[in-house]
């Protein structure tokens, strides 16, 4: 739930701290008063050592902070530091404490600082106390600093690696701290890019893989600072990337990117994607996404100005205006991550310009919403009726547990669109991320791939028990249903061979892809119990009668023609089949 932010100037020019504070302010609902902080590239030539202590420094600098503690700073290599050291680097600097980001500014006068590279964090503590400043982010290990949003279930094994293989002691129990030390140690052995892959997949070092939800941004000191970000392969935590000129920004919310970079182009990372910036070099396995219509109407002069409201106060104000009757029309501008807009809406017309915040249009049962911009995560949860048009892109879990109504998206949707969808229609003009239609029980999802050329994600329809998914064009079979990594398949088959459950010939056939010799129980372990029907064909007459009205609605809203006679990939539960054919990854 934490909010993370990173800024990097590829041409080396300094960026003011006010940009970091502005971005963190835009994500205030992701934080609490229990911790925040920043890291920045600030070389000094000798080690800068910082610690929290109950007493002021002797021979160093002291700043009194809330809680009766002192923040100590030494230059060089002090022999004894009475306190908890949280920084020892000649390249980086860190400021953190218990409080909101603006509290940190008040304590340390952050606005007087500037740098070519920044990290920022606002904390929502889940697995360590919020009363002590050490637990605030960023965390450092040598010349590496990280900020993290998530919770690791692998903390014990990660610390075992650091303790028994790499010689570290004295960990605090905070999972984010382990990420910083792992990133440092693995980067020294494998390079930064290799370290990221090792953290995701644990290919060379046992216990290195991070398990659980995470989104991480990091900064590594050196003559040229290295900046980067990555998200877990299952993509349980959002992370957006924006680029404006030579400035890169990453943030937990699209609204924070807008707050920092204005109208910069941005997109959301998908599971397992990462980026690394070093000087003017930007690399990684990411793909730039998101598309927008060529025309968006201008808002009327008398529209509600969302900038006058907090992130949570706008929604009840709009609700009050919409209660005036079924014919009421409300326009609102300057929406910047405002949450809960349109929740419980039953009537009227709501037109929005900007970036709609998390958990909006939830439990909507009537009326219409028109968004001229993007929507963040959890838009349309438990929607019962009404219609929403998004003239932009959608974040993760679009239409979760949706029971009725219609959602039309011009561009892309993130991961888990239509998860647990039970009814109604979702039409996506671009592409969709991993796990689309996961545990779907009813309704229709249509992915047109007409406004963007990106492939759909993986594990489409996993756990699906009802409804149908239509994707224009052919979706490779390995992207549908439960995917297994080939090395995981071979590891499992090898265990069956060693246990005598398979003979050598059956093992070799299974490795080659023929699983017919496996028991039904073994097949279920590998591919799950929900069979899927996957067809590559043109739509039938009954399907056309059902879908064409929604495709025409899409065309009328966005001006994008759709040819319903083209070939589609049609995904649905396959009743009566014993098990789903496996989707084997590389």
> What is the pLDDT confidence band of residue 485, given thresholds at 50, 70 and 90?
low
Are 345 and 326 in the same domain?
yes
Are 71 and 171 in the same domain?
no
The total of structural domains in the chain comes to 4
**Crossing angle between the packed helical segments 17-25 and 101-108, to the nearest 10 degrees:** 150
pLDDT at 176 over 70: yes
Are 55 and 163 in the same domain?
no
Are 193 and 255 in the same domain?
yes
Cα–Cα distance for residue pair 571/586, rounded to 1 Å: 22
CATH number, domain with residue 226: 3.60.20.10
290 in any annotated domain? no
pLDDT digits (tens, 9 = 90+) for 550-578: 999 999 999 999 999 999 999 999 875 43
69 in any annotated domain? yes
Are 209 and 332 in the same domain?
no
Average pLDDT over residues 273-283: 96
Domain-terminating residue out of 283, 314, 333: 283
Residues 6+ apart with CB under 8 A from 176: 137, 139, 146, 147, 148
Are 145 and 224 in the same domain?
yes
> What is the pLDDT confidence band of residue 527, given thresholds at 50, 70 and 90?
low
CATH number, domain with residue 316: 2.160.20.60
Are 164 and 80 in the same domain?
no
Tokens representing residue 122 in the block: 């606002």
pLDDT digits (tens, 9 = 90+) for 290-346: 899 989 999 999 999 999 999 999 999 999 999 987 789 999 999 999 999 999 999
Tokens representing residue 180 in the block: 């910083």
584 in any annotated domain? no
Average pLDDT over residues 475-491: 78
Give the SS3 label for residue 248. strand
Cα–Cα distance for residue pair 101/86, rounded to 1 Å: 18
291 in any annotated domain? no
Average pLDDT over residues 403-427: 97
Question: What per-residue confidence (pLDDT) applies to 516?
Answer: 75
Closest CA to 41 of 108, 142, 112, 117: 117
Cα–Cα distance for residue pair 128/135, rounded to 1 Å: 7
pLDDT at 28 over 80: yes
Are 79 and 173 in the same domain?
no
298 in any annotated domain? no
Give the SS3 label for residue 194. helix
Average pLDDT over residues 134-162: 94
Are 379 and 427 in the same domain?
yes
**Region for 526 from its dihedrals, namely left if φ exceeds 0, alpha if ψ lies in -120 to 50, beta otherwise:** alpha
Are 75 and 142 in the same domain?
no
Cα–Cα distance for residue pair 337/334, rounded to 1 Å: 10
Give the domain extent around 521: 486-527
292 in any annotated domain? no
Question: What per-residue confidence (pLDDT) applies to 499?
Answer: 85
- Give the max Cα distance, the chain: 83
Are 67 and 78 in the same domain?
yes
Cα–Cα distance for residue pair 215/54, rounded to 1 Å: 33
Half-sphere exposure of 336 (CA within 13 A, CB side): 22
Cα–Cα distance for residue pair 108/93, rounded to 1 Å: 12
Are 61 and 143 in the same domain?
no
């Amino acid at each position: 739930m934490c909010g993370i932010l990173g800024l990097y100037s590829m041409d080396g020019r300094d960026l003011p701290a006010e940009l970091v504070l502005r971005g963190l302010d835009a994500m205030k609902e992701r934080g609490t008063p229990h911790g925040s902080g920043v890291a920045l590239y600030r070389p000094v030539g000798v080690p800068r050592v910082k610690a929290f202590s109950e007493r002021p420094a002797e021979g160093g600098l002291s700043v009194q902070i809330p809680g009766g503690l002192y923040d100590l700073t030494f230059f060089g290599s002090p022999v004894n530091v009475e306190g908890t050291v949280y920084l020892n680097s000649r390249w980086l600097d860190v400021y953190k404490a218990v409080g909101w980001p603006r509290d940190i500014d008040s304590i340390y006068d952050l606005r007087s600082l500037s740098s070519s590279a920044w990290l920022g964090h606002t904390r929502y503590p889940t697995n360590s106390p919020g009363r002590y400043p050490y637990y605030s982010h960023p965390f450092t290990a040598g010349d590496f600093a990280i900020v993290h949003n998530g919770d690791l279930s692998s903390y014990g094994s990660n610390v075992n690696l650091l303790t028994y293989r790499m010689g570290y002691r004295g960990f605090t129990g905070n999972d984010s701290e382990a990420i910083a030390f792992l990133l440092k140690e693995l980067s020294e052995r494998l390079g930064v890019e290799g370290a990221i892959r090792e953290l995701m997949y644990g290919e060379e070092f046992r216990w290195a893989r991070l398990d659980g939800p995470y989104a991480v941004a990091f900064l590594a000191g050196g003559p040229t600072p290295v900046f980067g970000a990555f998200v877990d392969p299952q993509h349980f935590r959002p992370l957006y990337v924006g680029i404006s000129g030579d400035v890169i920004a990453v943030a937990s919310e699209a609204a924070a990117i807008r707050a920092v970079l204005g109208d910069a182009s941005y997109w959301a990372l998908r599971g397992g994607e990462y980026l690394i910036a070093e000087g003017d070099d930007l690399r990684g396995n990411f793909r730039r996404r998101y598309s927008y219509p060529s025309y968006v109407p201008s808002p009327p002069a008398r529209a509600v100005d969302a900038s006058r409201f907090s992130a949570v106060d706008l929604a009840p104000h709009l609700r009050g205006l919409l209660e005036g009757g079924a014919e009421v029309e409300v326009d609102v501008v300057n929406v910047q991550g405002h949450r809960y807009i349109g929740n419980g809406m039953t009537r009227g017309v709501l037109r929005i310009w900007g970036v709609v915040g998390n958990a909006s249009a939830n439990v909507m049962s009537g009326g219409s919403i028109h968004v001229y911009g993007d929507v963040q995560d959890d838009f349309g949860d438990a929607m019962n009726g009404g219609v929403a048009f998004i003239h932009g892109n959608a974040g993760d879990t679009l239409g979760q547990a949706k029971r009725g109504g219609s959602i039309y998206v011009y561009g892309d949707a993130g991961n888990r669109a239509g998860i647990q969808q039970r009814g109604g229609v979702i039409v996506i003009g671009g592409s969709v991320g991993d796990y689309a239609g996961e545990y779907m029980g009813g309704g229709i999802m249509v992915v047109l791939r007409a406004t963007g050329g990106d492939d759909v994600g993986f594990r489409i329809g996993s756990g699906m028990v009802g409804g149908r998914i239509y994707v224009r064009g052919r979706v490779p079979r390995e992207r549908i249903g439960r995917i297994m990594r080939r090395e995981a398949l071979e590891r499992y088959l090898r265990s069956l061979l060693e246990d005598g459950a398979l003979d050598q010939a059956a093992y070799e056939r299974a490795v080659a892809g023929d699983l017919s010799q496996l028991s039904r129980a073994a097949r279920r372990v590998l591919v799950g119990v929900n069979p899927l029907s996957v067809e590559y064909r043109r739509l039938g007459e009954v399907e056309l009668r059902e879908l064409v009205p929604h495709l025409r609605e899409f065309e009328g809203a966005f001006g994008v023609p759709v040819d319903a006679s083209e070939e589609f990939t049609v995904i649905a539960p396959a009743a009566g089949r014993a098990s789903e054919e496996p989707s084997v990854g590389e």
